[in-house]
Amino acid sequence: MVGALLVLFIIPFTNTSKVKNTYSRPIFKVFYWLFVIDFIILAWVGYIPITSTSIFIGQLATVYYFLFFIVVIPAVGHLENVLFELKIFKK
């Protein structure tokens, strides 16, 4: 549980996007909604009885939770920076 909260403190350091407004970041929006779905799945898994399937689903959802903050945010930021510089996206 401590790791789930501590990972929130690294967001300012891992956000590599030049555009800080999430309304102008179309790729980030997709991953954000996947994160919201992941959060709902984690809450559901915490509610249902423990089975081998629920443990597996919980492990997958937990991996995405941490990957979102550690890998997805920086990678999407770099990708969107390139796309903004190539004028594929507008700021």
Q: Tens digits of per-residue pLDDT, 23-66? A: 888 899 999 999 999 999 999 999 999 999 999 999 999 999 99
Q: Tens digits of per-residue pLDDT, 68-85? A: 999 999 999 999 888 888
The pLDDT value given to residue 91: 61
Which has the higher per-residue pLDDT, 13 or 59? 59
pTM of the full structure: 0.85
With contact defined as beta carbons under 8 Å apart, do 48 and 54 qualify?
yes
Q: How far is CA 64 from CA 17, 26, 31, 58, 74, in A?
A: 20, 19, 10, 10, 14
Q: What is the mean pLDDT of the chain?
A: 91
Cα(30)–Cα(34) distance, integer angstroms: 6
Instruction: Of 58, 67, 48, give the one whose Cα is nearest residue 7.
Output: 67
Give the pLDDT mean for 7-25: 85
- As given in the structure block, the two tokens for residue 12 are 């300012």
Q: How far is CA 21 from CA 18, 26, 52, 60, in A?
A: 9, 11, 40, 29
